[in-house]
Amino acid sequence: MMQIKRTGLTWISFLSYALTGALVIVTGMVMDNIAHYFNVPVTSMSNTFTFLNAGILIAIFLNAWLMELVPLKKQLIFGFILMLVAIAGLVTGHSIAIFSACMFILGVVSGITMSIGTFLITHLYEGRQRGARLLFTDSFFSMAGTLFPIIAAAVLSRQLPWYVVYCAIGLIYVAIFIITLFTEFPILSKNSQQKSEPKEKWGPGVFLLALAALCYILGQLGFIAWVPDYATKALGFELGRAGQLVGNFWTAYMVGMWVFSVVLRFIDSQKLLVLLTALASLLMYWFNHAQDPNMLHIIIAALGFFSSAIYTTIITLGSQQTKIASPKLVNFILTCGTVGTMLTFVVTAPIVSHDGPHAALTTSNGLYLTVFICCLLLGFVTKHRANH
């Protein structure tokens, strides 16, 4: 019975990451069609997708407290109702205001589900197995990010309405809902936790990892966002070939997740993190200064491969800084990473407008170097070996 319960909860975690990946990565595919649908410029349409990111950020932040007040099962069932409302709004609504509200609701549903999924993995698995499982869970984000743009292209090429893509994404939550109905969840009563667990301070390791999470996501997304612009304007690439650079990065990223989910079982996670952040920083520096077009494809693939395990290992190490991984601790690090997502264009757009895309790539390299320094300093204060 325990094994069945664990399997159900683990699959909910997998699908929660797939849901977020599908919602976030499909944006670029559907934006132009939605802009035509509402008869507005693409630039102003892109701003409305900020509501999606805002919903994710707010939900992850608040769910650190909600998990102790509202049972996880009820949250997921309520999320299913919100998902139905949002998709119904997308299908029937004909105004930017309704579209923005629906995007915000989808972000809230995604944030709640992802924070629950992350917590479940840290709750169910211990030690190095936790890191491996969390890394494999995160690979579902990339898998959805690979699959749903293909689905979106198939839908749009057949002249079907753009909201069919979001109906397809909603099917992921249908699966989560069905598993939820037949699965027993851990109870997170605040009072029972206080009686059974000693109150522990997070320590400096948690805050180093939170800073690393923010800098890593900001650095990664800032880099990927401006690589096509840099390749076309500075290096003379055609748009299709520039896009292939991004494709190489995400393909290698997905493969890396699978490889490191095995490797993490045998290597200390903090030492591996120092090695990966050092390699990623060097590879990004090499990419930013290389001129050979063929070499750029190899460098960015290697960068994707060695970057793949960084974020989930940061979350894993954060959850191991105390004996019991509390929802607040896990969600704190997740929130910091999501803040990095929110800041991507706030930070990089002014840099690009003033100094060009290469300056944004250099800034991302500096952020990766900051992550390396944080992970190096973590070695002096980490508690993960003592706790697990």
User: What is the model's pLDDT at position 195?
Assistant: 44
pLDDT band at 46 (very low <50, low <70, confident <90, very high): low
Copy the structure tokens of residue 284: 């990004």
Contacts of 121 (CB under 8 A, 6+ apart): 10, 13, 130, 133, 134, 137
User: What is the model's pLDDT at position 91?
Assistant: 94
How far apart, in whole angstroms, are the C-alpha atoms of residue 309 and residue 174? Answer: 29
pTM for the full predicted model: 0.78
Q: What is the mean pLDDT of residues 24-35?
A: 78
User: What is the model's pLDDT at position 84?
Assistant: 96
Note whether residue 196 is domain-resident: no
Q: Give the number of domains in the chain.
A: 2
Q: What is the mean pLDDT of residues 238-263?
A: 84
How far apart, in whole angstroms, are the C-alpha atoms of residue 86 and residue 60? Answer: 18
* Region class of 127: left (phi > 0), else alpha (psi between -120 and 50), else beta: left
User: What is the model's pLDDT at position 385?
Assistant: 66
User: Are 312 and 100 contacting, i.e. CB atoms less than 8 angstroms apart?
Assistant: no
User: Are 5 and 105 contacting, i.e. CB atoms less than 8 angstroms apart?
Assistant: no
233 shares a domain with 165? no
CATH of the domain at 177: 1.20.1250.20
Copy the structure tokens of residue 214: 């923010």
User: Are 1 and 130 contacting, i.e. CB atoms less than 8 angstroms apart?
Assistant: no
134 shares a domain with 43? yes
* Range of the structural domain that residue 88 is part of: 2-191
87 shares a domain with 150? yes
pLDDT band at 1 (very low <50, low <70, confident <90, very high): very low
185 shares a domain with 232? no
User: What is the model's pLDDT at position 272?
Assistant: 92
pLDDT band at 325 (very low <50, low <70, confident <90, very high): low
Contacts of 282 (CB under 8 A, 6+ apart): none
User: What is the model's pLDDT at position 304?
Assistant: 93
Note whether residue 167 is domain-resident: yes
User: What is the model's pLDDT at position 192?
Assistant: 45
Note whether residue 199 is domain-resident: no
pLDDT above 70 coverage of the chain, percent: 92
Using the CB atoms, write b or e for 280-298: b if 16+ within 10 Å. Answer: bbbbbbbbeeeeeeeebbb
pLDDT band at 194 (very low <50, low <70, confident <90, very high): very low
Output the CA angle 75-81-84, nearest 5 degrees.
140
Note whether residue 90 is domain-resident: yes
Give pLDDT tens digits for 71-102.
999 999 999 999 999 999 999 988 899 999 99
* Residue appearing with tokens 């650079």: 245
